[in-house]
């Protein structure tokens, strides 16, 4: 069609010979003036009909275009990208800091009179310690208050602390069993009653004895002995900062941000007893007993941090994957620390993930490995040549392994005809203690019962529950921090993913989940700054769970990507030719109208 119309093209008419313009109307006057040139003039006004028509079509197309785009638009729930970026950058830049309350009690220090000076001294010591370390997530930073009490026979001075429960002066006067740690711990607890208040106390008792630093099972520690005030203050600051706040961890151990807790707040402790070769001997354990007497209190104690369930299995024919060699000096087979990455034999050890655990629970494997006769006794050797006491090791975020050498293997290696044994309950108790230490390490705590500080070595009392109150506080803080970090990174990657795929469908539900997750995270952050640690733990857990729900939403996983190419392929067969027509028609009509109008104007000018 355009080719056919080429000769009457108005562009040509304009430039070249202009053959057409002997004007439109049929009733041209025959008696026109001699100076009327039909090529450059016309007498009638050019018609607007066709121009108007083409323009109408053109503009109606333009107006319909947004509607079309709207109709083929894929649904994307609006996501608060800025808020997500704010949250993740906030989590990265300034780690969470809890407000902490400390209390220092000096007993029998008759020479102290100025409590404020003492408070300042403690403060400056703590400043020194905190400034050395970059404030880790979930610690106090510089956001703490210290209350000082001096309790001596002559006077009883309290520093002006507001809501902190006051130390009753003279409470220790009648108590003389200072050497028995357990009793003193209980007695202090009855005096301090720190159960409900997260208030950490260090009691310094001046006495004629060697200096002894003990950290109790609750939220207090004590320093007993003949010590100067300055020394006591240094020790005290260290206990506050390094033990109560940091959990007694050394730097460089497992990073505190990683908590082996699933997104749904659940942890499954999966205990497996591996008999590497049942032909030699088969060991069974009374797991029921282990579960009820040894694990139940721990599970109970950790309930504020994680919901723990326990399961067990016994597997057979599970050789280890690494090599061991006979060492005459030790009289045993040796595997060294550099073999540890290859110890777990993932081909043969089918430590199945638990069906009972939901999709996002964390499974921690605890493996008790019973070596076969040809590698028994099997011992772990450190690089310095020492033999490991526990004969076990952990793998962070995976679990722990203990090699347990059965008593028969140190005897003569004779094949017994009744190879079924049971692990004795004393052995089981020892094993469970090692497992407990491994669990503590997996949670980022120390497995030893003393803390070596810069100024003194403190004794950490162990609780029957496996975790002391102050350790649970540390865990809870770290868990909150870890949850919020995870939430931030998950939402951040979600927003990056969504932004990188502009034609991905996003369900309303995801939008809602992201919104609620952000709200929960904000609530948690504000609770942290107010010092409500329990509430912040709850909402941080919720924030992380919602964030992961959104990220792993089934509609996101499926291929719901409707590409632009697809859309183009569907609509171009109609819109490409039609738009060409419309555009060309508009351009031609407009040019023609301009030309004709000029002719008309020229004629008019001539007339006048």
Partner 1 sequence: MVRLRSILLFILLFKSFGSIIIAEQSEEFSEALLLRPLPDRKVLAHFHFESKIPPTRTHGPHHSLFPKSIYQLVHKFRVREMELSFTQGRWNYGRWGGYDPISSRNAKPPGVELWASFDVPQHQVDASWRNLTHALSGLFCASINFLESSTAYSAPQWSFKSFTTNVRYGTLPREAVCTENLTPWLKLLPCRDKAGLSALMDRPSIYRGFYHSQRLHLVSNEFDLAEASSGMVLEQTLTVVLQPVTLGSGMTFGSIRQPSWSLSSLFGRKVSGRCVLSNTSNVYVQLEPNLVSELKSTSAMQQESDVKNLVSQAWSDMSFEMSDSPVRVIKEVYGFHKESSLLYEYSLANSSDSRPFDLEFRWKRPVTWSSQLAPLQASRFLMGSGNERGAIAISLKSVGRSEYTDSSDDEDGRCSLRVDVFQVVPWYVKVYYHTLKVYLDERLHSLADVIERTNVSPSEDKVSPGLMELALRLPCDVNSVILTLEFDKGFLHIDEYPPDANQGFDIPSALIRFPEIKTKLHLFEDKSSCKSPLLSKLQEESPILWYTEVLLVPLTTPDFSMPYNVITITCTVFALYFGSLLNALRRRVEEEERLLKNKATKDSSPIGVLLSKLSAKLRGKPLEPPKSSASSSKVSYKLILRVILVAGIAVAWQYFG
- Only one of the segments 173-181, 280-288, 363-371, 436-444 lies at the binding site for partner 1 (rule: CB under 8 A); that segment is 280-288
CB of 199 to partner 1, least distance (A): 41
Q: Which residue has the tokens 């407000």?
A: 99
413 binds partner 1 (CB under 8 A): no
284 binds partner 1 (CB under 8 A): yes
288 binds partner 1 (CB under 8 A): yes
Q: For residues 90 and 314, which CB has a smaller minimum distance to partner 1 in the complex?
A: 314
CB of 556 to partner 1, least distance (A): 19
Q: For residues 316 and 323, which CB has a smaller minimum distance to partner 1 in the complex?
A: 316
Question: Does residue 509 contact residue 78 with C-beta atoms inside 8 Å?
Answer: no
Which of 83, 257, 307, 311 lies at the binding interface for partner 1 (CB under 8 A)? 311
Closest CA to 477 of 168, 246, 178: 246
CB of 323 to partner 1, least distance (A): 20
416 binds partner 1 (CB under 8 A): no
64 binds partner 1 (CB under 8 A): no
Helix (H, G, I), strand (E, B) or coil at 165: coil
Cis-peptide, bond into residue 506, ω within 30° of zero: no
464 binds partner 1 (CB under 8 A): no
Q: For residues 300 and 327, which CB has a smaller minimum distance to partner 1 in the complex?
A: 300
412 binds partner 1 (CB under 8 A): no
How many Cβ atoms sit within 10 Å of the Cβ of residue 143? 13
- The secondary element (H helix, E strand) that includes residue 408 is helix 407-410
581 binds partner 1 (CB under 8 A): yes
Site string for partner 1, 317-336 (x = CB under 8 A): x-------------------
Which of 33, 48, 53, 62 lies at the binding interface for partner 1 (CB under 8 A)? 53
For residue 38, report the phi and psi dihedrals to the nearest 5 degrees.
Answer: -65, -15
Cα–Cα distance, 125 to 323 (Å, whole number)? 51
How many Cβ atoms sit within 10 Å of the Cβ of residue 216? 26
How many Cβ atoms sit within 10 Å of the Cβ of residue 456? 20
Cα–Cα distance, 286 to 24 (Å, whole number)? 109
Cα–Cα distance, 197 to 164 (Å, whole number)? 9
- Only one of the segments 82-90, 281-289, 337-345, 365-373 lies at the binding site for partner 1 (rule: CB under 8 A); that segment is 281-289
CB of 437 to partner 1, least distance (A): 22
287 binds partner 1 (CB under 8 A): yes
How many Cβ atoms sit within 10 Å of the Cβ of residue 51? 18
Beta bridge partners of 421: 283
350 binds partner 1 (CB under 8 A): yes
Nearest-Å Rg of the Cα atoms of the chain is 41
577 binds partner 1 (CB under 8 A): yes
CB of 408 to partner 1, least distance (A): 15
Residues 6+ apart with CB under 8 A from 527: 533, 535, 536, 539
Q: For residues 103 and 588, which CB has a smaller minimum distance to partner 1 in the complex?
A: 588
- Only one of the segments 96-104, 133-141, 255-263, 575-583 lies at the binding site for partner 1 (rule: CB under 8 A); that segment is 575-583
Question: Does residue 217 contact residue 463 with C-beta atoms inside 8 Å?
Answer: yes
Which of 37, 186, 257, 291 lies at the binding interface for partner 1 (CB under 8 A)? 291
Cα–Cα distance, 226 to 261 (Å, whole number)? 44
Which of 135, 165, 419, 511 lies at the binding interface for partner 1 (CB under 8 A)? 419
Beta bridge partners of 367: 272, 401
Cα–Cα distance, 599 to 37 (Å, whole number)? 10
Q: For residues 145 and 579, which CB has a smaller minimum distance to partner 1 in the complex?
A: 579
312 binds partner 1 (CB under 8 A): yes
Question: Does residue 472 contact residue 222 with C-beta atoms inside 8 Å?
Answer: no
CA distances from 425 to 422, 439, 487, 584 (A): 9, 20, 43, 94
Site string for partner 1, 240-279 (x = CB under 8 A): ---------------------------------x----xx
Q: For residues 12 and 229, which CB has a smaller minimum distance to partner 1 in the complex?
A: 12
CB of 288 to partner 1, least distance (A): 5
Which of 108, 145, 159, 313 lies at the binding interface for partner 1 (CB under 8 A)? 313
8 binds partner 1 (CB under 8 A): yes
- Only one of the segments 7-15, 76-84, 117-125, 368-376 lies at the binding site for partner 1 (rule: CB under 8 A); that segment is 7-15
45 binds partner 1 (CB under 8 A): no
Which of 43, 50, 594, 598 lies at the binding interface for partner 1 (CB under 8 A)? 50
Question: Does residue 296 contact residue 337 with C-beta atoms inside 8 Å?
Answer: no
CA distances from 217 to 134, 200, 304, 533 (A): 27, 12, 17, 20
Helices and strands (DSSP H and E) totals, the chain? 15, 18
- Only one of the segments 18-26, 526-534, 539-547, 556-564 lies at the binding site for partner 1 (rule: CB under 8 A); that segment is 18-26
354 binds partner 1 (CB under 8 A): yes
Which residue blocks in 501-563 are alpha helix, DSSP H? 508-530, 533-551, 554-557
Q: For residues 363 and 481, which CB has a smaller minimum distance to partner 1 in the complex?
A: 363
How many Cβ atoms sit within 10 Å of the Cβ of residue 160? 9
Instruction: With CB under 8 A as the rule, give the number of residues binding partner 1.
Output: 50
Phi-psi region of 399 (alpha: psi -120 to 50; beta: other; left: phi over 0): left
369 binds partner 1 (CB under 8 A): no
Which of 64, 133, 570, 607 lies at the binding interface for partner 1 (CB under 8 A)? 570
Provide the strand spans (E) within 197-263. 199-206, 212-215, 220-225
Q: Which residue has the tokens 């309790």?
A: 151
Q: For residues 1 and 454, which CB has a smaller minimum distance to partner 1 in the complex?
A: 1
Residues in the chain: 608
Where on the chain is the footprint of partner 1 (CB under 8 A)?
A: 1, 6-8, 12, 16-17, 19-20, 22, 24, 26, 50, 53-54, 57, 273, 278-279, 282, 284-285, 287-288, 291, 311-317, 350, 352, 354-356, 419, 569-571, 573-574, 576-578, 581-582, 585, 589
């Amino acid at each position: 069609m355009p080719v056919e119309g080429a000769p009457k093209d108005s562009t040509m008419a304009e430039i070249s010979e202009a053959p057409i313009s002997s004007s439109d109307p049929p009733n041209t006057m025959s008696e026109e003036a001699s100076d009327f040139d039909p090529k450059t003039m016309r007498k009638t006004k050019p018609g607007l009909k066709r121009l108007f028509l083409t323009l109408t079509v053109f503009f109606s197309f333009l107006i319909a275009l947004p509607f079309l785009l709207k109709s083929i638009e894929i649904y994307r729930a609006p996501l608060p990208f800025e808020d997500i970026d704010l949250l993740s950058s906030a989590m990265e830049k300034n780690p969470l800091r809890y407000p902490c309350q400390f209390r220092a009690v000096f007993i029998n220090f008759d020479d102290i009179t100025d409590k404020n000076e003492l408070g300042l001294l403690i403060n400056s010591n703590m400043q020194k310690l905190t400034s050395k370390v970059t404030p880790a997530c979930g610690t106090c930073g510089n956001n703490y208050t210290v209350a000082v009490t001096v309790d001596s026979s002559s006077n009883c001075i309290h520093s002006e602390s507001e809501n902190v429960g006051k130390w009753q002066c003279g409470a220790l006067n009648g108590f003389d069993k200072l050497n028995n740690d357990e009793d003193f711990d209980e007695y202090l607890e009855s005096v301090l009653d720190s159960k409900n208040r997260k208030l950490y106390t260090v009691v310094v008792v001046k006495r004629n004895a060697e200096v002894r630093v003990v950290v109790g099972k609750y939220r207090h520690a004590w320093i007993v002995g003949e010590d100067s005030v300055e020394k006591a203050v240094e020790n005290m600051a260290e206990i506050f900062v390094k033990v109560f706040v940091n959990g007694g961890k050394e730097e460089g151990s497992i990073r505190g941000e990683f908590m082996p807790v699933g997104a749904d707040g659940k942890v499954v402790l999966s205990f497996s007893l591996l008999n590497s070769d049942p032909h030699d001997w088969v060991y069974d354990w009374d797991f029921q007993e282990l579960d009820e007497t040894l694990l139940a209190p721990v599970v109970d104690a950790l309930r504020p941090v994680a919901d723990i369930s326990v399961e067990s299995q016994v597997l057979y024919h599970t050789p280890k994957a690494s090599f061991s060699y006979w060492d005459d000096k030790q009289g045993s087979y040796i595997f060294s620390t550099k073999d540890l990455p290859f110890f777990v034999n993932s081909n043969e050890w089918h430590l199945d993930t638990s069906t009972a655990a939901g999709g996002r629970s964390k499974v921690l494997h605890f493996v008790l490995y019973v070596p076969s006769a040809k590698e028994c006794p099997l011992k772990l050797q450190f690089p310095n040549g020492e033999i490991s006491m526990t004969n076990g090791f952990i793998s962070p975020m995976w679990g722990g392994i203990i090699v347990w050498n059965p008593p028969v293997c140190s005897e003569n290696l004779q094949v017994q005809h009744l190879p079924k044994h049971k692990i004795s309950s004393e052995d089981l108790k020892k094993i469970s203690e090692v497992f407990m230490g491994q669990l503590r390490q997996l949670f980022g705590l120390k497995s030893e019962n003393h803390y070596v500080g810069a100024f003194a070595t403190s004794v950490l009392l162990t609780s029957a529950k496996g975790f002391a109150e102050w350790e649970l506080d540390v865990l809870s803080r770290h868990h909150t921090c870890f949850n919020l970090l995870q939430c931030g990174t998950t939402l951040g990657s979600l927003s990056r993913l969504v932004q990188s795929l502009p034609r991905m469908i996003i369900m309303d539900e995801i939008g809602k989940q992201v919104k609620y997750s952000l709200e929960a995270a904000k609530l948690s952050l504000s609770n942290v700054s107010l010092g409500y640690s329990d509430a912040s733990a709850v909402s941080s857990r919720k924030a992380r769970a919602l964030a992961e729900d959104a990220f792993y939403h089934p509609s996101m996983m499926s291929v719901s990507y409707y590409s632009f190419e697809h859309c183009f392929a569907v609509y171009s067969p109609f819109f490409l030719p039609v738009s060409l027509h419309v555009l060309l028609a508009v351009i031609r009509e407009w040019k023609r109208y301009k030309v004709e109008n000029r002719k008309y104007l020229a004629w008019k000018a001539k007339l006048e």
